Structure 1
Amino acid sequence: MRDMAEMLSELRVADASGAEPIDPAVVEADVARGRRALVGRRRRLVGSGVVAVAATAVMAVTVSMGGQSGSGTQSEARSTAAGRQSSVRVELASYHGAQPAGFEVRTVPQGWKVVSSTPYAFLAVPPGTDTSTIVARGAAAQGGFDRGIAVTLTGDAQFPANEQPEKVNVDGRTGELGATQDKRAMWLMWSDAAGHRLQVQVPDKLGLTKQQIVNFADGVTATGKATTGKG
């Protein structure tokens, strides 16, 4: 926009040339309109800047929140994974305790306690198991077979009719590994070199894999005192 000096100079030139003089009121009105236009333009520019800044701030907040949300999801995933890794993992360890009367074993799950070692049954349970109701005789079956890893003679036990047990190798001999009737435990049955028909029972909730069950059975031997449990 032209300044006042330039406009007055033009007025003087116009007056000197003999042209009709311009009314000063008209000039002042034009200058006022020009100033108002300039102020309005500056306001629009400033307003646009504020909107741009605000929009940038909103985008920054959105990105930040999105990042936090993603981090939360990753954190939950890590927490879930950590929870899975922190689950109890069963490892077999060499057994150095007193050997049971009916069954000898080479390994037991690490940290587990042997609570039955009779001619009728061998039973080891995880740490923290309530053993107050586990009977010492025979089948310990009335109070313990659903809590630990058990060894007995098979007796008349048979796999359910609808179960197709898997053939496995137990210390060089063929065994059968399959689910019990209620599907809550695994049975491993095999015959040893002396003709004993042995059975290992492991509830699924204890976390042993099929291979661990077989590895445990590899170290099981029935003695001459092994007897089929009663009731």
Structure 2
Amino acid sequence: MAYTGEQPTGFTVDEVPEGWEVQGSDESAFMLAPKGIADQDPQSFVGKIGIVLQRRLPDVTTKKVTVNGQPALLATMAGNARPGTVFIKQPTGAYLAIQVWQTLNWGEKEIVRFAEGVHVGKDARPIVS
């Protein structure tokens, strides 16, 4: 569904799942969550979609994919049965990481399609890790 709300700090997003909203944002990350979710902590990823700009890739199993014509990596994170995070290298060398919680049951196609609508703005800064 086209997103018409206030854009997250440092980023823009074209679409969000129907009934979802930006739960919190700063210049390094933002969280999407279902409206009315009991867990209102914007630092918690459970049942949500987390978007983070980070300096480097974690050590995980990946598959090469393409997002907006750019090479990207689809990863299966520890504890997950299937891929749920995509990493897209940015011109600055940082990685845009989009983590989709497994209960959404999104496959590669849905994750990549969503990622194509997430954009890093000039004010975004990688998290300090």
Alignment of 1:43-62 (within 5 A): none
Q: What is the deviation of 1:156?
A: 3.5
1:187 maps to: 85
Task: Give the residue type in structure 1 aligned to 2:47.
Answer: R
Q: Which has the higher contact order (CA 8 A, sep 6+)?
A: 2
2:109 maps to: 211
Alignment of 1:17-32 (within 5 A): none
Give the paired residue count: 128
- Pairwise CA RMSD of aligned residues? 2.1
Structure-2 separation of matches of 1:230 and 1:95: 28
2:51 maps to: 151
Q: What is the deviation of 1:173?
A: 0.4
Structure-2 separation of matches of 1:227 and 1:147: 25
2:73 and 2:87 in contact (8 A); partners too? yes
Structure-2 separation of matches of 1:124 and 1:95: 11
Aligned residue among 154, 174, 184 for 2:71: 174
Q: What is the deviation of 1:196?
A: 4.0
Structure-1 separation of matches of 2:80 and 2:2: 29
Structure-1 separation of matches of 2:55 and 2:46: 18
- Runs (5+) with no aligned partner, structure 1: 1-92
2:10 maps to: 102
Alignment of 1:83-162 (within 5 A): 93-132=1-40, 134-135=41-42, 140=43, 144-160=44-60
1:221 maps to: 119
CA-to-partner distance for each residue in 1:59-113, whole Å, 9 max, x for gaps? xxxxxxxxxxxxxxxxxxxxxxxxxxxxxxxxxx111111111211111111112
- Determine which structure has the larger helix proportion and give its number: 1
SS class of match (1:94)? coil
1:153 and 1:226 in contact (8 A); partners too? yes
Alignment of 1:5-24 (within 5 A): none
Task: Give the residue type in structure 2 aligned to 1:112.
Answer: W
Structure 1 residues 194 and 219, CA gap change in structure 2 (3 angstroms): farther
Q: Quick check: 213-222 or 177-186, which moved more?
A: 177-186
- Determine which structure has the larger strand proportion and give its number: 2
- Runs (5+) with no aligned partner, structure 2: none
The structure with more radius of gyration? 1
1:38 maps to: none
